[in-house]
Structure 1
């Protein structure tokens, strides 16, 4: 499945819209304006919350938790590395994803069990942060898209010091 993830420019909080290949709105991500750390609600087009993303503040590495129906579902952690960006999407059981890419070119590959399951690339000719996300059929689209949001948030934090 191919998605277009786009951050809204004129918004007080982090707000994203995710569309399918035919430009139909599929998901909306709304950030909380006044909160300690990033907190975002990942909703379907009808406003039903599918996931909640929360930044964990007391951590040596950038770390975010993804909740589903109020329960901790997964954790996204930025790993230390010198020249490439590495993240882990830690989900229960042996289903973890490793994400690697380039901070400068904003190209990322998601792998699970040694197999590429998603690819993300940034559009440089857009006014706001815009990413193309290709996900292999049968994968957890919400978990992967929520992780893309986390990567964007972490990259902006890195740029801002």
Structure 2
């Protein structure tokens, strides 16, 4: 399943829709303004919060948590040494890890689990400016989690570039 994400409005406080490949609204990203730390909520079309992304207040490296029902589902951190490409590590609550690597700022990267591709994020498929696609390769995977990881990693990379 492929999702379309409008890329130009990643500021905290802005809300935007993520559409499925048929053009239907699939997820709403709700940026929470006036908070002590960056917070984004991924909601379903009816407004129910599926996942919350929060910046950790105290950490050596920029870190965000991915939460579902007030429990930490994953922690996202940039790997320390990444010479040619951006690498992020997503530590899941069950002890497993996802690897995110590629050209994050160019919106060309992949999310893998144990060497298996779960999602591919790319601008190449689209002609619409300021838009990228998230192609969830495995249909049995958690689409909301993979969308949240893509949004989180891009938010962290953009913040690092700008700050």
Q: Which TM-score applies when normalising by structure 1?
A: 0.88
Name the CA distance, whole Å, in 2 between partners of 1:51 and 1:89. 15
**Map of 1:8-157 to 2, 5 A cutoff?**
9=9, 13-80=13-80, 81-122=82-123, 126=128, 128=130, 130-135=131-136, 136-157=138-159
Name the CA distance, whole Å, in 2 between partners of 1:58 and 1:138. 35
Name the CA distance, whole Å, in 2 between partners of 1:8 and 1:89. 24
Q: CA deviation at 1:159?
A: 2.0
Q: Is the 8 A contact 1:98 1:112 kept in 2?
A: yes
Deviates more, 1:8-17 or 1:80-89: 8-17
Deviates more, 1:137-146 or 1:1-10: 1-10
Q: Which runs of structure 1 show a deviation greater than 2 angstroms over 4 or more consecutive aligned residues?
A: 7-12, 92-95, 103-106, 122-128
Q: CA deviation at 1:12?
A: 6.6
- RMSD of aligned residue pairs (Cα, Å): 2.2
Name the CA distance, whole Å, in 2 between partners of 1:34 and 1:44. 23
Name the CA distance, whole Å, in 2 between partners of 1:51 and 1:2. 19
Gaps of 5+ in 2: none
Q: Which TM-score applies when normalising by structure 2?
A: 0.87
Q: Is the 8 A contact 1:8 1:16 kept in 2?
A: no
How many residue pairs align between the two structures? 160
Name the CA distance, whole Å, in 2 between partners of 1:71 and 1:94. 14
Gaps of 5+ in 1: none
